[in-house]
Amino acid sequence: MGSTVSGSISCFGEDVPIYRIIKNKGEGHAEKKANILCGDSQNLVTMAMRGKIPKEVQQIFDKYIQNNVRSLKKPAAVQMLVSEFSLSEEQANDMFENFDKDKNGIMSLNEFRAFYMCAGANAQAIVTKFQELDADGSGKLDLEEARAGLQSMKTATGRALEDKEIDFFLQTTAGEDNVIDLGHFTNLLYRLKLYKSPPPPKEGIKKF
């Protein structure tokens, strides 16, 4: 079983075969499984929320909490992202929306930890790359801009992505409106950093 799959995304230690996903797109189950493990941004955030809270994460967060409540309402969270990570208001807002996993308008410590893991000290570098790719300066990447970006990037093992891999990353990153904001882009870079898959086979991907 599954012996014909030769590409996978390594996501927090779990390998997800990507050709199965592409092949069966629309058939439901495989696609759904991919989304649970690795595919969409929100589930990536869930995964990044597991495990111990690093000390520096706690320390930054605690500067902004009030009355010992270990969560930040959106305005305080955005303020933190602006002050600590030199983001603009809009950028901080996109980050907040992306990492507010349960969409309750509050950033929990775990949600902040996910942000810290995916962006953290690299937030400015991510913004710079994002702006470089945002050719029309709209503040969002459309699929063409994002595709050009992916074509210029490398996997964790240092090779360029192939077209079908780029399609996969785009499909699983863009929001419903087919645009990629700074929050989605942060996830995309993080996934790429984890992506250690060998190149896909040139042809002859068999059916499952």
| Residue number with CB closer to Ca ion (106 or 192) | 106
Decide if residue 70 touches Ca ion (CB under 5 A).
Answer: no
Q: Do 114 and 101 contact (CB within 8 A), yes or no? A: yes
DSSP β-bridge partners for residue 107:
72
Among the residue ranges 45-53, 76-84, 93-101, 144-152, the one whose residues contact Ca ion (CB under 5 A)? 93-101
Among the residue ranges 20-28, 78-86, 105-113, 174-182, the one whose residues contact Ca ion (CB under 5 A)? 105-113
Question: Number of residues in contact with Ca ion, rule: CB under 5 A?
Answer: 4
| Residue number with CB closer to Ca ion (106 or 179) | 106
Decide if residue 53 touches Ca ion (CB under 5 A).
Answer: no
User: What residues contact 133, with CB distance under 8 A and at least 6 apart?
Assistant: 141, 145, 146, 148, 149
| Residue number with CB closer to Ca ion (8 or 98) | 98
| Residue number with CB closer to Ca ion (109 or 194) | 109
Alpha helices in the chain (DSSP H): 18-23, 29-34, 41-48, 55-62, 74-85, 89-99, 109-118, 123-133, 143-151, 163-171, 182-194
User: What residues contact 90, with CB distance under 8 A and at least 6 apart?
Assistant: 139
Decide if residue 117 touches Ca ion (CB under 5 A).
Answer: no
| Residue number with CB closer to Ca ion (105 or 198) | 105
CB neighbours of residue 45 within 10 Å: 24
From candidates 27, 90, 102, 132, binder to Ca ion by CB under 5 A: 102
CB of 111 to Ca ion, least distance (A): 5
Q: How many CA atoms lie within 13 A of 108 on its CB side?
A: 14
From candidates 60, 82, 106, 194, binder to Ca ion by CB under 5 A: 106
CB of 19 to Ca ion, least distance (A): 34
Tallying the residues shown for the chain, one arrives at: 208
From candidates 83, 86, 88, 104, binder to Ca ion by CB under 5 A: 104
CB of 50 to Ca ion, least distance (A): 16
Tokens 């305080």 locate to 76
Among the residue ranges 10-18, 26-34, 54-62, 103-111, the one whose residues contact Ca ion (CB under 5 A)? 103-111
Find, among 133, 136, 137, 122, the residue nearest to 187 by Cα. Answer: 122
Binding site for Ca ion (CB under 5 A): 100, 102, 104, 106
